[in-house]
């Protein structure tokens, strides 16, 4: 049989990119994108009023935790080399109110979880706390409500800011290394930075949810935190049709003192992530949110995709787009896959 590469009528390729794909060793040797578990943040849920971990039906494999089970999960994260754990609190319905006052209570479920993690692991695991009121308000919004001059109920941006400051300081007092304001209120980073500094917490970092889009990918998370939300958050989270405003939000957060910035959700906004990574003077995070997790999980459960390969493909895509830090519910599992 004639070798097509030597056929006189067929030009022999001079450049052969396939030379660099000939074996796994060669592919690893020239790989452009690398993942390290130290870049991962594991989001976790600690719930009040439960005595054993409780499955989240919309997120197979993810649970609401007791303090004991949270510490066991964190131990797994430390052993896997995961860099950080991001704590979300789930209060009982009876503890919710119009202002979300349990959010800054020293004995509130979120601060109790933060304190337990810091006591147990010290600086071996960065403890991050979600700095937002939505889990704690009886209306499920990220700020306090008011009525505008037309009689419409709206989130009061400026009245919410001092509550964020109070929440961030309480999280720092509990031991958080990082606070992560996710409410998308204008001016939130400056107010939080000033409050932390005034309270003596100059070393506590802020990871700003700078480009956080409203959309359909948060559905499973609402179950995870027992959200009371009615309606949507389109008046304060970003419109998925827009890109330039993300760069403005990032610029403002950096000017106000953000130590790190975030794009959320990751998958639908990889173009934004790339633009933010190109212009940001601080580390850039991306959050692989509950909807992304659940889509891959559901497809894998149905046998439509290879679960482990899909997990890693998705994480490499986020890293390749420019993320220095990745929040993912697969942090521990992905670390194990990287270690193989």
Catalytic residues: 212, 264
Q: Report CA 183 to chain centroid distance, whole Å.
A: 13
Pairing mode, strands 178-181 and 40-47: unpaired
- In sign, the C-alpha dihedral spanning 328, 284, 74, 317 is positive
DSSP codes, 179-244:
EEE-S--TTHHHHHHHHHHHTT-TT-EEEEEEEEB-SSTTHHHHHHTT----S--TTTSBPTT-SH
Contact between 319 and 327 (Cβ < 8 Å): no
Q: What are the angstrom distances between the C-alpha of 262 and each of 181, 259, 269?
A: 10, 10, 11
Q: Which of 44, 128, 51, 122 is CA-nearest to residue 89?
A: 44
What spatial distance separates the first Cα and last Cα of the chain, rounded to whole Å? Answer: 41
Phi/psi region, residue 334 (left: phi>0; alpha: psi -120 to 50; beta: rest), is: alpha
- State both tokens at 319: 């890293």
Local structure of 286: helix, strand or coil: strand
**Cα–Cα distances in angstroms (integers) from residue 35 to residues 320, 326, 337, in the given order:** 10, 10, 11
In this structure, are residues 216 and 240 in contact, taking their beta carbons and an 8 Å threshold? no
């Amino acid at each position: 049989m004639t070798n097509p590469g030597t056929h006189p009528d067929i030009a022999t390729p001079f450049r052969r990119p396939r030379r660099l794909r000939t074996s796994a060793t060669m592919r690893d040797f020239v790989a452009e994108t690398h993942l390290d578990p130290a870049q991962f943040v594991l989001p976790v849920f600690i719930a009040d009023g439960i005595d054993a971990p409780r499955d989240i039906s919309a997120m197979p494999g993810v649970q609401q935790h007791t303090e004991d089970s949270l510490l066991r999960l964190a131990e797994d994260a430390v052993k896997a080399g995961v860099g950080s754990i991001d704590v979300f609190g789930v209060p009982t319905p009876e503890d919710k109110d119009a202002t979300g006052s349990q959010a800054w209570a020293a004995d509130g479920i979120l601060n109790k979880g933060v304190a337990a993690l810091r006591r147990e692991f010290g600086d071996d695991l960065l403890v991050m706390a979600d700095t937002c009121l939505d889990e704690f308000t009886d209306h499920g919004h990220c700020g306090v409500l008011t009525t505008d001059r037309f009689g419409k109920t709206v989130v009061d941006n400026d009245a919410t800011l001092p509550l964020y400051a109070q929440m961030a300081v309480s999280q720092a007092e509990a031991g958080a290394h990082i606070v992560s304001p996710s409410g998308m209120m204008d001016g939130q980073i400056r107010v939080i930075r000033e409050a932390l500094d005034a309270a003596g917490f100059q070393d506590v970092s802020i990871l700003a949810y700078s480009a956080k889009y409203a959309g359909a990918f948060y559905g499973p998370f609402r179950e995870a935190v027992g959200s009371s939300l009615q309606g949507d958050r389109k008046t304060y989270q970003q419109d998925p049709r827009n890109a330039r405003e993300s760069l403005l939000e990032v610029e403002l957060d950096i000017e106000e003192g953000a130590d790190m910035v975030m794009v959320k959700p990751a998958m639908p906004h990889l173009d934004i992530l790339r633009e933010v990574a190109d212009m940001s003077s601080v580390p850039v995070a991306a959050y692989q949110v509950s909807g992304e997790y659940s889509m891959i999980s559901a497809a894998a459960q149905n046998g439509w995709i290879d679960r482990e390969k899909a997990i890693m493909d998705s994480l490499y895509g986020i890293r390749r787009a420019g993320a220095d830090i990745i929040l993912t519910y697969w942090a521990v599992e992905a670390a194990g896959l990287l270690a193989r």
